[in-house]
Structure 1
């Protein structure tokens, strides 16, 4: 089970964009085109939000598990490092 994510190709390093509680990747979409001039935005949706599944196991919602998911995504993209943009719980 993986978090839903979208990669928007742009110029520069990847930027992971994490929304807050009771929100979705939609909060970032007005900014994506401008950000693509300086980075490659990667928008994710947290567990149980919009297109991401809602795991039954409560431990999946802990920060440690989110970090594991984000790290797996970074490796999947082949990024040595990336920028982070978050809001609220993100």
Structure 2
């Protein structure tokens, strides 16, 4: 029986411009299902802990996030940004 692996971090990631382009349906990125799933879930205001709970990751979401980060597809969201309103999940990191 497969068990889901959960994250142990409250870091928040957002997509970079490159990540936003890779998330578009018209592109066919070369990544496995878990990497693509996390890329699509990253929105700039939801922690990796929460994304891990809804993403049903079989492999560690922390490692998947680090892979996406090292590929330049996501980055840590700035902690100094005011969170007084919800940002659109499809906005790129450059537009926020």
TM-score (norm 1): 0.28
TM-score (norm 2): 0.26
Identify the structure with the greater helix proportion. 2
